[in-house]
A and B are shown apart, each in its own frame.
Chain A
């Protein structure tokens, strides 16, 4: 038995998963294939929304919210702004002559990783790998995801948390200094 298996395996969940997965992958291909950069950025938004949906299916609701606010809300707007500001010598997002070998390398990488994924014995969380006490704790973590995540972020990983805030400040100051007119 896999832990936290609620509606998983139900027909509607399967359907939702396949719709999200298909739209995510198809729009990701569109991002790298469409020549008009503005349309490609709109497809990037569809991909980011699909990834937020995958996070919800993976019981990571907080991350889905973060994904919506940071990626769909902020980063995509930033990218669209930059595309519109640099639009006038528009020739679209063309590829250079390395396209075919690069596509081959990516395909080989994808094939190798899918082969490795499907041939690995995963140590799935469940009654075979955990004792009943740990199962109880794990079930509590799954139902109380966000408080546990807050404890992890602000206690166990607090150093990384602070360093990342300094990094963000440095990046924002650096980008301001770069684009400031002189």
Chain B
């Protein structure tokens, strides 16, 4: 039960983020929903590496660190990539807002001016 409840929170966050990312018109709201999805994935990765061990690995492993903290390493990389994605995404949104003064994804569906 201890592992499952963390995984369920991750799944709920991911589903809420998916709903927001697919249904929102405002581009910044879509980015915020993407952040929710990233966080759900991070919770899942850290919880799995905290509580479980791969079955094939648990027979012969000499370095416990390599399976106990891999999820945390993944989460560090996910957070870094998310930061890069948000910086780039907001820059694109502001550039679009400057050139055609809208931030709605439905208005900016085609790439031409």
Contacts and interface: CB of A to CB of B under 8 A. Distances in A.
A16 interface: no
B111 interface: no
B58 A123 contact: yes
Contact of B95 (A78, A103, A178): A178
A153 B29 CA distance: 33
Contacts of A103: 19, 23
Contact of B94 (A17, A82, A141): A82
B18 to A, nearest CB: 5
Interface in B31-56: 31-33, 35-36, 39, 42-43, 46-47, 50-55
A32 B33 contact: yes
Interface in B63-99: 63-66, 68-70, 72-73, 75-77, 79-88, 90-95, 97
Contacts of B25: 93-96
Contacts of A19: none
A15 interface: no
Contacts of A141: 64-65, 68-69
A152 B70 contact: yes
Main secondary structure of the interface of B (DSSP, over half): helix
A66 B20 CA distance: 25
A4 B76 CA distance: 22
Contact of A41 (B7, B32, B75, B92): B32
Given A79-B28, A82-B93, A107 B15 contact: yes
Interface of A: 2, 4, 8, 17, 21, 24-25, 28-29, 31-32, 37, 40-41, 44, 47-48, 51, 54-55, 58-60, 62-63, 66-67, 70-71, 74-75, 78-79, 81-83, 85-86, 89, 92-96, 98-99, 102-103, 105-107, 109-110, 113-114, 117-118, 122-125, 129-130, 134, 137-138, 140-142, 145, 148-149, 151-153, 156-157, 160, 164, 167-168, 170-172, 174-176, 178-179
17 contacts: A4-B50, A28-B13, A48-B35, A55-B42, A66-B76, A71-B79, A79-B28, A81-B90, A89-B101, A96-B25, A105-B18, A118-B8, A148-B65, A167-B80, A171-B88, A176-B91, A179-B91
Given A47-B36, A51-B39, 8 more contacts: A17-B5, A25-B16, A63-B75, A63-B76, A93-B26, A95-B23, A95-B24, A114-B11
